Amino acid sequence: MSGGATRTTCPYCGVGCGIVARPLPDGTAEIAGDPEHPANFGRLCSKGAALGETLSLEGRLLHPHIHSALASWDKALDLVARKFSDTIAEHGPDSVAFYLSGQLLTEDYYVANKLMKGFIGSANIDTNSRLCMASSVAGHKRAFGTDTVPGTYEDLELAELVVLVGSNLAWCHPVLYQRLATARETRGTKVVVIDPRETATCEIADLHLAIAPGADVALFNGLLAHLVASGRLDQTYVAQHTRDLPAALSAASSMDLSEIAVATALSTSVIADFYELFAGTERVVTVYSQGVNQSSAGTDKVNAILNCHLATGRIGRSGMGPFSVTGQPNAMGGREVGGLANMLTAHMELDNAEHRRIVRAFWNAPTIAAKPGLKAVDLFRAVEDGRIKALWIMATNPVVSLPEADRVRAAIAACPFVIVSDVNHHTDTTALAHVLLPAAAWGEKDGTITNSERRISRQRAFLPSPGEARPDWWQMAEVAKRMGFGAAFSYTHPAEIFAEYARLTGIENDGTRDLDISGAAELSRGAYDALVPFQWPRRTGSEPKETRFFANGAFYTPDRRARFVPTPFRGLAQRRTAEMPLTLNTGRIRDQWHTMTRTAKSVRLMAHAPEPFVEIHPVDAAAFGIADGALAEIENLSGAIVCRAVVTDRQSAGSLFVPMHWTSELANRARVDTLVAAVTDPISGQPELKGTPVAIKPFEAAWQAYAVTRRVPDARGSAYFATAAASHGFRTEIALRDEPESWDELARQWIADGEDKSIELLAYHDGTAGQYRFAAFSGDRLVGALFVARGTLACARTWIAAQLLQSVPPSARLRLLAGRPGGEAKDRGPIVCACLDVGRNEIIEAITEHGAATVAAVGACVKAGTNCGSCRAEIKRILDAARIPEAV
């Protein structure tokens, strides 16, 4: 491309949007959607659009470390290879493990998998994708004989009905949501959302089924029975391309409509409406995501959905099919190369002797793993009980993201040898490493990813790697060489790895395996560099083309028929009790990614939800004494966390929702997975992250404080602490149980720490009212502010944060201490539209003063909601609250 621009792909969600990146002299980059990429055609969501703001080197791990001391690459790699070799020699290959990430590129994954399964001889290689889509993989394999997503994104645009199950597409896959929303506007697509919460996605829903947590199997079993009873089967498809319908139907028919209504907490009429809509619409796409997968019955949920599509023959045809959307950018690529403990590689199986022979011969490997390795939860159990003695963690933060996170932390801390390869120096997991290896970050590395529609795209470097950061594939290849496997790991560029992987997919394939990209095996280095996105399969001699699977059967089972799978309904593994009366649901929020190691660097991404929060229904809030905006403590026998309460009827009564993202770096008591039990699906091994019994109570802390500072204040030891990036510094919420001896001293410590000694500290005290306010100035610039109140603390937080490092004349300083703007200045309020940085108060002004009566009119007035559209549901709620009905 011209002008220093590089085509690459977004490193966040499974939509896999194309990006055009242009590095800027200040170390950031200009980011735009790639108009030619078939996933997004130029669109980006708030996270993708803010990528340029996440590239700073602040917090980067730049050099290898051994026991926290700087070390050379040679020394670190020698140590890793020696420790792995010694451990394997003494305790066998299953005494070591890799724990990887859907953030890795396919080439990284391929090398890790080859090293572990072909050269170490164990299958102890699992990944955070186990927490994301393992149930979909297992469901696909049970029904199709292989892990295939049959359709394409275009199917969502061609469908007449799109059913979204356990998917907040508007926030978690925003560009795909935009494509669906546009199709709905232009073609009248009907949309059904099945989700216990009224999420932002419900903005475009014709029907929202606020289903009870864990009850999806009951609903889809009932649908299968209805399809049969109402004569909607595709008899020809079922007869020619499937088997075992009677067994599945028998299991599906065990509950009648009223029993399904009880199990799902839905009315019989709304269930009947949904069944009839599905049954009577030919072009149906069912999209499912973590609400289906992250369940102790996740595989059955997937198969219950697949059963309905197989029964109607609505699969692999234009505008029809089941569609698993992956959470991570390269969860699919990891699945392809075998980056899960129960796979071999290239869609070949560990328990298939022929497949093991093919792979071993292709790799010229000394051995080959012959049995499945440990899946994520079991893997960390094995770390805990000492079976795993050397563990290499790459590009992920299991101390935050795995269930029973405190137990995982203790297990890693006790492991004899832990290596962590990461981009960031300080995470909850890097803190436990014996060896830290600096990884190249997005923008610095080359490789490929595969998105949710099987489309392989290049990620390309457009920045030099800082310090001594190196790609993950290089790190593993260097260790492999030092372990004596140099001949098989002599790669000098990811293009060579990709070519080898592509060749492997075609070996002895002859149409017996769905994954075949051997047509890309002979790519030259130049052709790899120029590779345009393509969908698999791409067989030798074939040209890239849009593909779907299974319209005419040809499944990958021994008899090439799909399997209906009986899915007897069972609910959540853990039931609510009198002591734990609420069900905790966890998930993503609009502007954050995983454990926030990147998105937390962006001021605008932190502005929408700067604190960890818990959503609670008004009825529950009243019952448990939780006030909107107050702190609440959520607890069970595993632990306790503290979050800000959001009282909303978008949350179902009886359930709570807490985001998955917050770490110990950003809040002192908000790692939600410390509460989640390690209860897993028996087939996929995926943990139930959305159904944990908990209790909630008000968090008693008499004093609330809000600090705006240039450095993170030293207040982590407070009863509550949550910090977020702000322009030129940080905004931090703090709560204390007891009044300190001196607020002045604390103010100096928190807001003046590290500042020039000559700063001027302005203070306001009202001990009777319990109000203390401080503002620190260096010359005429504000360098810190602290607002303290006994009880509720009210101040214009967004406005105060924006004053940091601004010139504040003496005449305006008292106004600043009042915590509110005066005169012409305005408080924009909490940011609603992160893409275009529009605050709540600006939207209210557009409504009340400029007469904007629709979401579109608000957009025309202040631009809010006109980029990625993920905030439109919130704008609609603001409109509703202002009592201006939106025109249809």
Range in contact with ligand SF4 (rule: CB under 6 A) among 130-138, 172-180, 227-235, 241-249: 172-180
The distance of closest approach from Cβ of residue 598 to ligand SF4 in the complex, given in angstroms and rounded to an integer, is 11
- Residue 296 · residue 66 · CB < 8 Å: no
Choice between 783 and 835, CB closer to ligand SF4: 835
C-alpha radius of gyration, the chain, whole number: 27
Residue 741: partners with Cβ closer than 8 Å, 6 or more residues away = none
Range in contact with ligand SF4 (rule: CB under 6 A) among 42-50, 87-95, 491-499, 769-777: 42-50
Choice between 45 and 603, CB closer to ligand SF4: 45
Question: What's the start-to-end Cα distance of the chain, in Å?
Answer: 43
Between residue 129 and residue 158, which ones bind ligand SF4 under the rule CB under 6 A? none
Please report where in the chains the tokens 């557009």 appear, as a residue: 846
Q: Which of 23, 38, 48, 859 binds ligand SF4 (CB under 6 A)?
A: 48
Residue 122: partners with Cβ closer than 8 Å, 6 or more residues away = 93, 94, 96, 97, 116, 369, 373
Choice between 31 and 393, CB closer to ligand SF4: 31
Helical pair 216-229 and 268-279, crossing angle rounded to 10 deg? 60
CA dihedral 786, 787, 790, 796 (to 10 degrees): -150
The distance of closest approach from Cβ of residue 85 to ligand SF4 in the complex, given in angstroms and rounded to an integer, is 39
Choice between 509 and 602, CB closer to ligand SF4: 602
Range in contact with ligand SF4 (rule: CB under 6 A) among 7-15, 227-235, 369-377, 852-860: 7-15
The distance of closest approach from Cβ of residue 10 to ligand SF4 in the complex, given in angstroms and rounded to an integer, is 3
The distance of closest approach from Cβ of residue 38 to ligand SF4 in the complex, given in angstroms and rounded to an integer, is 12
Q: Which of 6, 15, 81, 429 binds ligand SF4 (CB under 6 A)?
A: 15
332 interacts with ligand SF4 by CB under 6 A: no
Handedness of CA 127, 132, 134, 136 (dihedral sign): negative
> Can you list the alpha helix ranges (DSSP code H) found in 40-133?
46-49, 73-91, 106-114
Range in contact with ligand SF4 (rule: CB under 6 A) among 43-51, 70-78, 347-355, 381-389: 43-51
Can the peptide bond before residue 537 be classed as cis, meaning omega within 30 degrees of 0? yes
Q: Which of 47, 83, 375, 563 binds ligand SF4 (CB under 6 A)?
A: 47
Strand runs labelled E in 461-575: 534-535, 562-563
Between residue 637 and residue 666, which ones bind ligand SF4 under the rule CB under 6 A? none
- Residue 289 · residue 325 · CB < 8 Å: yes
The distance of closest approach from Cβ of residue 35 to ligand SF4 in the complex, given in angstroms and rounded to an integer, is 14
Q: Which of 61, 115, 163, 175 binds ligand SF4 (CB under 6 A)?
A: 175
Q: Which of 7, 13, 296, 408 binds ligand SF4 (CB under 6 A)?
A: 13
- Residue 728 · residue 784 · CB < 8 Å: no
DSSP for residue 466: P
Residue whose C-alpha is closest to residue 611's, from 652, 653, 669, 651: 669
Choice between 40 and 128, CB closer to ligand SF4: 40
The distance of closest approach from Cβ of residue 17 to ligand SF4 in the complex, given in angstroms and rounded to an integer, is 3
The distance of closest approach from Cβ of residue 743 to ligand SF4 in the complex, given in angstroms and rounded to an integer, is 42
Record the tokens describing residue 208, joined without a space: 């929202």
DSSP for residue 481: I
Q: Which of 7, 17, 381, 566 binds ligand SF4 (CB under 6 A)?
A: 17
Residue 528: partners with Cβ closer than 8 Å, 6 or more residues away = 458, 494, 495, 498, 499
Choice between 143 and 441, CB closer to ligand SF4: 441
The distance of closest approach from Cβ of residue 590 to ligand SF4 in the complex, given in angstroms and rounded to an integer, is 10
Choice between 598 and 773, CB closer to ligand SF4: 598
The distance of closest approach from Cβ of residue 593 to ligand SF4 in the complex, given in angstroms and rounded to an integer, is 7
Range in contact with ligand SF4 (rule: CB under 6 A) among 6-14, 288-296, 718-726, 798-806: 6-14
The distance of closest approach from Cβ of residue 44 to ligand SF4 in the complex, given in angstroms and rounded to an integer, is 4
Q: Which of 6, 7, 10, 358 binds ligand SF4 (CB under 6 A)?
A: 10
The distance of closest approach from Cβ of residue 73 to ligand SF4 in the complex, given in angstroms and rounded to an integer, is 32
Which residue number places its CB atom closest to ligand SF4?
48
Record the tokens describing residue 105, joined without a space: 């590129």
Q: Is 833 helix (H, G, I), strand (E, B) or coil?
A: strand
The distance of closest approach from Cβ of residue 112 to ligand SF4 in the complex, given in angstroms and rounded to an integer, is 23
Q: What angle do CA 395, 396, 397 make, to 5 degrees?
A: 140
Q: Which of 151, 166, 174, 691 binds ligand SF4 (CB under 6 A)?
A: 174
Q: What angle do CA 675, 677, 678 make, to 5 degrees?
A: 135
The distance of closest approach from Cβ of residue 385 to ligand SF4 in the complex, given in angstroms and rounded to an integer, is 38
Helix (H) or strand (E) holding 784: strand 781-790
- Residue 658 · residue 540 · CB < 8 Å: no
Please report where in the chains the tokens 């602040």 appear, as a residue: 58
44 interacts with ligand SF4 by CB under 6 A: yes
Choice between 18 and 145, CB closer to ligand SF4: 18
Q: How many residues bind ligand SF4 (CB under 6 A)?
A: 14
Q: Is 744 helix (H, G, I), strand (E, B) or coil?
A: helix
Choice between 173 and 608, CB closer to ligand SF4: 173
β-strands 65-66, 435-438: how paired? antiparallel
Query: How many helices and strands (H and E) does the chain possess?
Result: 30, 34
Between residue 825 and residue 864, which ones bind ligand SF4 under the rule CB under 6 A? none
730 interacts with ligand SF4 by CB under 6 A: no
Residue 732 identity: T
Please report where in the chains the tokens 């078939």 appear, as a residue: 38
CA dist 431 → 68, 470, 822 (Å): 9, 20, 45
Record the tokens describing residue 728, joined without a space: 């030129």
Between residue 22 and residue 41, which ones bind ligand SF4 under the rule CB under 6 A? 40
Q: Which of 6, 7, 12, 865 binds ligand SF4 (CB under 6 A)?
A: 12
Give the binding site for ligand SF4 (CB under 6 A). 10, 12-13, 15-17, 40, 44-45, 47-48, 173-175
